[in-house]
A and B are shown apart, each in its own frame.
Chain A
Amino acid sequence: MPVGYFGNSFRDQRDGRSARTPSASRLPVWASLGLSLLLACLAVALRAPWTLAALAGVNLLYLVLCRVGCGLLRKAMRGLVWQTAILLGLHCLRFGAEGVYPALRVSSQLFLAFLPGMIFLASTGRSELVRLASGVLPPTGAFVLGASLHFVPLLVREVKGIYHAQVLRGARILPIDIFKPWCWPDWVGCLIVPSTVQALAMAGEIAMAARARDFGACRHRTCWPGNALRPDPEREP
């Protein structure tokens, strides 16, 4: 049911926490965003191994402050292992043994550039993100940005499902097949086209769900004000 995208039945991408639940982070959203951007920029700018190690420590502290579970870290580490293996292979092919250190450095830099953004997205509620973006973007633009960022993990899961189903059907879209030009039509017909259809369908369902909740009825306000979702301290016993 499309409207479920914005209802309580839809669980956000974070460990079963409802999408409408405000952030559990100890940091305010704007501070969390600023810290996340700073850490991502530092990961790109820093080169020395000890600075990267220190940055990894700061990232762990950020993870604890944002109260994100270890599941996210485990998922990120799995990606790191794959990425390091690919980069080591590519760098060794191009530079020989001298490519080992740059490959490890680039891989850890990429990991540290990705991790703060993942923590920020996992620890911030969708409505909070949209409210934050509303300050700098037009209302529709803020909603589009917030919704796109939050539904991309779901879309990636759907694309993975399509990929596995097509592999089971015998489509020649395994990673090795990317180097075989005669398999490229399978990539287009069995993966890219269904994934584009899925993205269009998901966009249509999100738009329908938003309209069902009067999105666009008021020209300027497109998200609930911040205190509507937060418990009122005066009402609490």
Chain B
Amino acid sequence: MISEKRLTLRDSLFIGFCAVFIVIFRMAFRWHLGISGHSMFYTISLLLLARGCVSFPWSATFAGALSGGMALMLGLGKGGPLILAKFLFPALVVDLAALICPLFFGSYLAVALVAALAAATKFFNTALMDWLVGMETVMILQHALIEAAGAVFFGVAGSLFVPAVLRKLKARGVI
């Protein structure tokens, strides 16, 4: 994939759609079923789609910042302003992976690996939140690991349709 330095209005609007859908899904699936990390299913897949369809190098970060800002305004999540990090960290991982290896979107294994790394950033968010509320170190590690494991599972599951979608879009000359 050839990266363009400039973000066109069409691409930024597509990224805006992805960001709005991340927030809508996040609001719609706040079901409190006690399943950790299920929000990563659509967050990671939409971030990957935003980066895969747009050649601008920081498009996932732009989508993450937009959705994080909207989520912050809507009061989603338990971490207050830390919610921004929940969107920005995975988005940065996706963008950095695309910078290092621009062709990773074609491989299921590489996409799953990037999705796992991006979803695993939930470990740091959870640990930071727990540390701020004053939990013990062992408890912080256990809780963060459980949360990160759930996030990795759902993140990888959500990412697996992205290579097929991008391949079909490329075959039809849409991207």
Other-chain contact of A199, B14, B33, B75, B76 (Cβ < 8 Å):
B14
Category for how many chain B residues contact A:
35 or more
8 Å CB interface, B1-29 against A: 8-17, 19-21, 24, 27-28
The answer, among A37, A45, A87, A147, for a CB contact under 8 Å with B13, is A147
Question: Does A188 touch B at the CB level, under 8 Å?
Answer: yes
Pairwise interchain contact B74-A40, C-beta atoms closer than 8 A: yes
Q: Specify the chain A residue showing the minimal Cβ separation from B9.
A: A207
Q: Tell whether B143 is near chain A: CB-to-CB under 8 Å.
A: no
What residues of B have a CB within 8 angstroms of the CB of A114 in the complex? Answer: 27
Pick from B31, B75, B169: contact of A87, CB below 8 A.
B31
Give CA–CA (A185, B66) in the complex, Å: 30
Does A219 touch B at the CB level, under 8 Å?
Answer: no
Given contact pairs A144-B12, A193-B165, A196-B53, enumerate 5 new A-B contacts (beta carbons under 8 Å).
Answer: A91-B33, A148-B16, A152-B20, A200-B14, A207-B8
- Give the distance in Å from the alpha carbon of A113 to the alpha carbon of B161 in the complex: 30
A203–B13 CB distance below 8 A? yes
* Chain A to chain B: the 8 pairs with minimum beta-carbon distance, closest first: A148-B16, A41-B75, A203-B13, A207-B9, A207-B10, A203-B14, A144-B16, A204-B10
The reply to whether A44 and B169 form a contact with Cβ atoms under 8 Å apart is: no
Report chain A residues within 8 Å CB of B164.
185, 188-189
The main secondary structure of chain B at its interface with chain A is helix
A215 in contact with B9 given A44-B75, A148-B16, A149-B20 (CB within 8 Å): yes
Instruction: Please list the residues of chain B having a beta carbon within 8 angstroms of any beta carbon in chain A.
Output: 8-17, 19-21, 24, 27-28, 30-34, 49, 53, 66, 70, 73-76, 161, 164-165, 168-169, 172, 174-175
Among B12, B66, B73, B175, which residue has its beta carbon within 8 angstroms of that of A200? B175
By a CB distance below 8 angstroms, the chain B residues around A102 are 32
What chain A residues lie within 8 Å of B17 (beta carbons)? 148, 151-152, 155, 199, 202-203
A69 within 8 A of partner (CB) = no
In the complex, which of the residues A87, A144, A188 contacts B161, with contact meaning CB atoms closer than 8 Å?
Answer: A188
Residue ID in chain A nearest B70 by CB atoms: A145
Residues from 124 to 155 in A contacting B, C-beta threshold 8 Å: 140-141, 144-145, 147-149, 151-152, 155
Minimal Cβ-Cβ distance residue in B for A189: B168
Residue A106 at the chain B interface, CB threshold 8 Å? yes
**A203 vs B53: C-alpha distance when bound (angstroms):** 12
Judging by beta carbons under 8 Å apart, are B20 and A106 in contact?
no
24 A–B contacts, CB within 8 A, in A order: A41-B74, A41-B75, A44-B76, A113-B74, A140-B12, A144-B16, A145-B66, A147-B13, A155-B17, A184-B161, A188-B164, A188-B165, A188-B168, A189-B164, A196-B53, A196-B165, A197-B174, A200-B10, A200-B174, A200-B175, A202-B13, A203-B10, A208-B10, A216-B9
Chain A 71-113, CB-CB to B under 8 Å as 1, else 0, gives: 0000000000000000100110010000000100010001001
Kindly list chain B residues whose C-beta atoms are within 8 Å of the C-beta of A110: 27-28, 30
Distance of A71 from chain B, by nearest CB (Å): 20
Q: Is the CB of A193 within 8 A of B9?
A: no
B74-A37 in contact (CB<8A): yes
Q: Considering the chains assembled together, what is the distance between the CA atoms of A152 and B174 in angstroms?
A: 20
Q: Is the CB of A193 within 8 A of B168?
A: yes
Contact between A197 and B172, CB atoms less than 8 A apart: yes
Which residues of A23-70 have CB atoms within 8 Å of chain B's CB atoms?
37, 40-41, 44-45
A40 touches B33 (CB 8 A): no
Complex: A185 Cα to B24 Cα, angstroms: 24
For residue B165, which residues in chain A have a CB less than 8 angstroms away from its CB? 188, 192-193, 196
Closest to A44 in B: B75
Neighbouring B residues of A40 by C-beta, 8 Å: 74-75
